[in-house]
Amino acid sequence: MKSLIKILLRTLLILFILVNIITAFHAYKFTHFYNAGDVPLKIERNGWDKTADILFGINVEKKADEAPADSAFKTIYFTTKDNIKLGAWYFKTSIAPKGTVVMFHGHGSTKSAILLESEEFRKMGYNTLLTDFRAHGNSGGNTTTIGYFESEDVALAYDYIKNGGEKNIVLWGISMGAAAVSKAISDYSLQPNKVILEMPFGSIVQAAEGRIKMMQLPPEPLATLITFWGGTEHGFWAFGMKPAEFVKKINCPVLLQWGSRDPRVTRAETDLIYTNISAPKKLVVYESAGHESLCKKENEKWVSEVKNFLTN
């Protein structure tokens, strides 16, 4: 009987170690982007290649920015306290400016992916500043912390516009960008005039759960382990990344937007974030949209809701 218990305990220990090794690899791949050309391109993938992806995660290259068709923009650079160079584009509206919208993209994306939203804001009379987060687009670095250290990126862009004399600053973010905006307001006591958050996750654990569900795997304990290893590998307490808590510090009007078909961010997360916002607020649900550009998916509704929010 004792020998059987020992075998069982050893087996459980081995399984525990293996699960942690696998999740540590996945956490690294989730928070690391490779430079262009660093990931070997395989046209034909065999069984081992697919198994390796499941066990150790997928190597992902940084997406390159696509230059906007509108050439009337200014390229700006910011430098973080750990000397990461961030690239940004500043666009001026063609009509009398009402203010500036400082914009932030999602995980694995780039500033060129939010050009449509930028164009719509400019039609409404707002200048726009689009920044690539660290490890994204034309910015330096290869490590993303899913909004944790990216809060500094938000603060740098905000301060640039504020120090330029702008009196009406709107912060806009989608997905990880929205999460980073909420943390930046909490960490740096930013005072924007209005905030637009689109599909922010409630916490990194919940963000990991959403990612794992899309892989058709049980979310727990994998989400908790990935959160732990992702933070440990990059030197931050990932369990403290909770946009649902950070929004409590926002003291200006907030427009919270979410797609009802979102496979990553749940309605429960969205409702909690909305409940925790004590400032004047509005929640808009897009019935046909998933975790994607709401502006692109339901453009007419997005323009109407955003314009009304900025006007009132």
pLDDT at position 2 is: 73
Residue-wise pLDDT tens for the chain (312 aa)? 778 888 888 888 888 888 898 889 888 988 999 988 777 666 666 666 666 666 667 888 899 998 887 768 999 999 999 999 999 999 999 899 999 999 999 999 999 999 999 999 999 999 999 999 999 999 999 999 999 999 999 999 999 999 999 999 999 999 999 999 999 999 999 999 999 999 999 999 999 888 777 767 777 888 899 999 999 999 999 999 999 999 999 999 999 999 999 999 999 999 999 999 999 999 999 999 999 999 999 999 999 999 999 998
Q: Is 72 left (phi over 0), alpha (psi -120 to 50) or beta?
A: beta
pLDDT at position 15 is: 87
pLDDT at position 206 is: 93
**Spatial separation of the C-alpha atoms in residues 281 and 300, rounded to whole Å:** 21
Report the b/e string of 195-234 with b at 16+ CB within 10 A: bbbbbbbbbbbbbbbbbbeeeeeebeebbbbbbbbbbeeb
pLDDT at position 11 is: 84
**pTM of the prediction?**
0.92
Which neighbouring-strand residues pair with 74? 90
Structure tokens, 73: 């923009």
Would the CA dihedral through 35, 40, 44, 46 be positive or negative?
Answer: negative
pLDDT at position 41 is: 63
Using CA atoms, how far residue 195 sits from 136, 169, 182, 217, 303, in Å, is: 23, 9, 9, 35, 15
Structure tokens, 45: 């993938």
Quick one: which H or E segment has residue 61?
none
Structure tokens, 21: 């090794």
Query: Average pLDDT of the chain?
Result: 92
Query: Position 28: which residue type?
Result: Y
Please check whether residue 214 is in contact with residue 203, taking contact to mean a CB–CB distance below 8 angstroms: no
Q: For residue 180, how many other CB atoms are within 10 A of its CB?
A: 33
**Spatial separation of the C-alpha atoms in residues 202 and 246, rounded to whole Å:** 10
Q: For 62-118, write each residue's pLDDT tens digit.
A: 999 988 877 689 999 999 999 999 999 999 998 999 999 999 999 999 999 999 999
Map out the domains of the chain with their CATH numbers.
2-56 (no CATH), 73-203+241-311 (3.40.50.1820)
